[in-house]
A and B are shown apart, each in its own frame.
Chain A
Amino acid sequence: MTTETTNLTSGGLPPRLRAALATAGLSLGPMIGAFVLSGLVLLLMKVNPFDYYGYVFQRGLLSPSGVQATLTRMGPLLLLAASLIVAFRAGLWNLGGDAQFLMGAVFVAAWAPLMVQHLPVWLVLVLSMLVSVVIGAIWGLLPAILRAYQGINEIITTLMMNFLGISLSSALVKLVFADPDTTVPQTRTLPVGDRLPVLFGSNVSSGLVIGLVVILAVHWMMTRTAFGLKLRVVGANPEAATHAGLSVPKLTLAVFAISAGLGGLAGAVAILGQYGNVRADWNPAYAFTIVPLVFLARFNGYAAIGYVFLFSALGIGSESAARRLDVPNYFTLVTVALLLVLLAVTERWAALRRARKGV
């Protein structure tokens, strides 16, 4: 395509909309590619790919209950994406999001069902979210200190705190916070009526709104405020930031507090809005799959919302399709992997094309 045709086709559109359309176009190709390739895998398994993806679309995007499940799942995922955007933009690779999520979830699940008997529900919900932010931030404190004052690589420490937190949360559920009224190892359950309110009479949890507000706020903070600029300078070049008079250690601590705190909040929203309790050994590993999506969104909040919606719909749709067609749920992993690789290839190709145009 030559430059003229590009200008002709997108002539009247405002630049921001044009960019959004280009991004959407760049995601559509990889999606189709991933569906075709994983469709071939389905053929090998003697399953009709059209049946399978028919169910995926029907459940994930078309049926009212499926859409509501998709939107509800987006709440915690958006918070995790916001958590990673803050850290990644500041050049800090927080790979411990799953433990931050679980620690927030476990403490809220232990605390909220007890408190709800003594305090008004709205107060319990607000306090629970504050608790989860504090717990998440505490869990991120050690890697933050080690990074800020000892210069120890945060990939190692957050990965280790991740293993530690996954084991600790399941130990807490089994040994400390176990519901005495049941033999199943799980925490007490928050009654459905005392959870986060649903939106407009649907089954969509208002966790979605919390997620959207937070990720937009984070995007605004990182791109439009002085504090965000400072963090981006630290991320781009810590030495230059020191020379510019910024206190890199303090900013590092702040980044970890926000990022890990939001990770904890994601756990709280999952419990307060959807699950109501934590079972032993529960680990949805959301953060692990959100990491590549945030990279592909190039740390942009709007793009991250799009990818999170896509991922959420695919997850909800595939779970249903797998159940109906007796395909093991592992198959979703193959689709997600193909999608990630193809998205990365397309992203790279688009970047090369932009670079070539620029020269």
Chain B
Amino acid sequence: MSGLFTDAFIIALLAGVVAATVPLLLAGLGEQISEKAGVLNIGIEGMMLMGAYGGFYVAWASGNLWLGFLGGGIGGMVVGALMALFCVRMGLNQIVVGIALTLGAEGVTALLHYEQFSRLYPRLSVMAPLPIPGLSQIPIVGPALFTREPVVYLAFALVPLFVWLFRRTQLGLMLQAAGDKPAALDTAGVSVLKIRTIAVLATGLLVGFGGAFLSIVAAGVFVPFMTHGNGFIGIVLAMLARGRPTWVMGGALVFGTCLSATTALQVAGVDVPTDIIQMLPFVAVMAVLLVAGRKARLPAALGAAYVRGER
């Protein structure tokens, strides 16, 4: 076993953890915004797939990976706009619409892929890493964590940004109010529907970026159903985090480590079935809940459409 832990292997392992964590982080942070504002966004798996497809398509068509990310964000926001229209504006059941949007996005992206790419299977170029001066010189950690694609740094930079947004800004306060006591927000003269619409669109944007990361950076191709439950894990992360962006990051790292462990162990020649490894993060979280479980505090008005004057 001692020969296993060469520097190259550890670098690959850490790099794999980061690559698996980023989409989960973006999905979790995105879902967190919706949940704070009182929208239980079951549709983020669909937003993520649309982001993955939109990101891949634009990157392939334009030859520019950054434009691809923009396309991914827009793809996610298109699904987010539908979610906002149906659930926030029209007050339809959030679980019905969320599942419908996920199924629809699965179908649409798979069809588009079938029509356009099923005979070609084009691959994207690799995004150039951006070494951070100084830090990237550290042995092992440097090449694994600080010689990464710029989008990786941006994703992690969102965590402190969101902490600041939620704690220190008026927008953060309004988001919280839209989820906890929408009537109070309405009384204060702020449109609940507007805040919730903004929140759902922001979710679409972030989750779309997460999907684009999967197709552009992690895989380099689009494959139907490629998000493979990443969005649902994002829902779990947001609920476990109880409104704290740092907890989303912690959770994403735990899940990301387990997801990337399969590949790492297989490379190392240890033959553990994929199914077993994929169970690990869920076993871990269930065990933690069982031992140290406390009430997961969720916004009071989560899942309920806001109708002015209704009690």
| Interface of A toward B, CB cutoff 8 Å | 41, 45, 93, 142, 145-146, 150-153, 155-157, 159-161, 163-164, 167-168, 170-171, 174-175, 288-289, 291-292, 295-296, 328, 330-338, 340-341, 343-345, 347-348
Classify the interface of chain A: helix, strand, loop or mixed.
helix
Q: In the bound complex, do residue A344 and residue B289 qualify as a contact, i.e. CB atoms below 8 Å apart?
A: no
Bound: A328/B236 CA distance, A? 32
Q: In the bound complex, do residue B91 and residue A153 qualify as a contact, i.e. CB atoms below 8 Å apart?
A: no
The digit string for B126-154, where 1 denotes a CB below 8 A from any CB of A, is: 00000000000000000000000000000
Bound: A193/B70 CA distance, A? 58
Instruction: State which of A45, A328, A330, A340 has its C-beta within 8 Å of the C-beta of B100.
Output: A340
Instruction: State which of B100, B229, B294 has its C-beta within 8 Å of the C-beta of A150.
Output: B294
Q: In the bound complex, do residue A152 and residue B97 qualify as a contact, i.e. CB atoms below 8 Å apart?
A: no
Instruction: State which of B101, B276, B289 has its C-beta within 8 Å of the C-beta of A337.
Output: B101
Q: In the bound complex, do residue A167 and residue B279 qualify as a contact, i.e. CB atoms below 8 Å apart?
A: yes
B268 at the A interface (CB under 8 A): no
Q: In the bound complex, do residue A333 and residue B276 qualify as a contact, i.e. CB atoms below 8 Å apart?
A: no
- What distance in Å separates the Cβ of B203 from its nearest Cβ neighbour in chain A? 17
Bound: A332/B103 CA distance, A? 9
Q: In the bound complex, do residue A160 and residue B286 qualify as a contact, i.e. CB atoms below 8 Å apart?
A: yes
Q: In the bound complex, do residue A156 and residue B283 qualify as a contact, i.e. CB atoms below 8 Å apart?
A: no
Bound: A336/B108 CA distance, A? 12
| Interface size of B as a range | 35 or more
The digit string for B284-308, where 1 denotes a CB below 8 A from any CB of A, is: 0110011001111010000000000
Q: In the bound complex, do residue B96 and residue A292 qualify as a contact, i.e. CB atoms below 8 Å apart?
A: yes
Cross-chain pair count, CB within 8 angstroms: 138
Q: In the bound complex, do residue A164 and residue B235 qualify as a contact, i.e. CB atoms below 8 Å apart?
A: no
Q: Determine the residue in chain A with the shortest Cβ distance to B224.
A: A330
Q: In the bound complex, do residue A333 and residue B97 qualify as a contact, i.e. CB atoms below 8 Å apart?
A: no
Give residues of chain B (211-227) contacting chain A, Cβ–Cβ below 8 Å.
Answer: 224
The digit string for B169-210, where 1 denotes a CB below 8 A from any CB of A, is: 000000000000000000000000000000000000000000
Q: In the bound complex, do residue A336 and residue B103 qualify as a contact, i.e. CB atoms below 8 Å apart?
A: yes
Q: In the bound complex, do residue B296 and residue A156 qualify as a contact, i.e. CB atoms below 8 Å apart?
A: yes
Q: In the bound complex, do residue A337 and residue B290 qualify as a contact, i.e. CB atoms below 8 Å apart?
A: no
CB contact under 8 A between A348 and B92, given known A146-B290, A164-B279: yes
Bound: A159/B238 CA distance, A? 13
Instruction: State which of A150, A174, A335 has its C-beta within 8 Å of the C-beta of B289.
Output: A150
Complex interface: stretch among B9-17, B61-69, B109-117, B157-165: B109-117
Q: Determine the residue in chain B with the shortest Cβ distance to A285.
A: B103
B33 at the A interface (CB under 8 A): no
Q: In the bound complex, do residue A156 and residue B103 qualify as a contact, i.e. CB atoms below 8 Å apart?
A: no
Q: In the bound complex, do residue B103 and residue A348 qualify as a contact, i.e. CB atoms below 8 Å apart?
A: no
Residues of A contacting B233 in the complex (Cβ-Cβ under 8 angstroms): 163
List 17 other contacts, CB 8 Å, given A168-B275, A289-B99.
Answer: A150-B295, A156-B235, A156-B296, A159-B235, A160-B282, A160-B285, A163-B279, A164-B283, A167-B279, A295-B95, A333-B104, A333-B106, A333-B107, A337-B104, A340-B100, A344-B86, A345-B90
Q: In the bound complex, do residue A291 and residue B99 qualify as a contact, i.e. CB atoms below 8 Å apart?
A: yes
B239 at the A interface (CB under 8 A): yes
Instruction: State which of B115, B273, B275, B286 has its C-beta within 8 Å of the C-beta of A142.
Output: B286
Q: In the bound complex, do residue A344 and residue B93 qualify as a contact, i.e. CB atoms below 8 Å apart?
A: yes
Bound: A332/B110 CA distance, A? 11
- What distance in Å separates the Cβ of B22 from its nearest Cβ neighbour in chain A? 20
Residues of A contacting B108 in the complex (Cβ-Cβ under 8 angstroms): 334
Q: Determine the residue in chain A with the shortest Cβ distance to B295.
A: A151
Instruction: State which of B99, B103, B282 has its C-beta within 8 Å of the C-beta of A161.
Output: B282
Q: In the bound complex, do residue A292 and residue B100 qualify as a contact, i.e. CB atoms below 8 Å apart?
A: yes
Q: Determine the residue in chain B with the shortest Cβ distance to A173.
A: B275
B81 at the A interface (CB under 8 A): no
Residues of A contacting B92 in the complex (Cβ-Cβ under 8 angstroms): 341, 344-345, 347-348
CB contact under 8 A between A334 and B295, given known A164-B283, A340-B100: no
CB contact under 8 A between A332 and B293, given known A167-B278, A337-B100, A348-B90: no
B84 at the A interface (CB under 8 A): no
- What distance in Å separates the Cβ of B250 from its nearest Cβ neighbour in chain A? 16
B240 at the A interface (CB under 8 A): yes
- What distance in Å separates the Cβ of B44 from its nearest Cβ neighbour in chain A? 12
Q: Determine the residue in chain B with the shortest Cβ distance to A296.
A: B96
The digit string for B26-39, where 1 denotes a CB below 8 A from any CB of A, is: 00000000000000
Residues of B contacting A151 in the complex (Cβ-Cβ under 8 angstroms): 294-295
B166 at the A interface (CB under 8 A): no
Residues of A contacting B239 in the complex (Cβ-Cβ under 8 angstroms): 153, 155-156
Residues of B contacting A163 in the complex (Cβ-Cβ under 8 angstroms): 229, 232-233, 278-279, 282
Residues of B contacting A159 in the complex (Cβ-Cβ under 8 angstroms): 232, 235-236
The digit string for B259-282, where 1 denotes a CB below 8 A from any CB of A, is: 000000000000001011011001
Q: In the bound complex, do residue B236 and residue A156 qualify as a contact, i.e. CB atoms below 8 Å apart?
A: yes
Residues of B contacting A292 in the complex (Cβ-Cβ under 8 angstroms): 93, 95-96, 99-100
Residues of A contacting B240 in the complex (Cβ-Cβ under 8 angstroms): 156
Top 9 closest pairs, chain A to chain B, by CB:
A333-B107, A337-B104, A340-B100, A330-B110, A171-B275, A334-B107, A150-B293, A292-B96, A164-B282
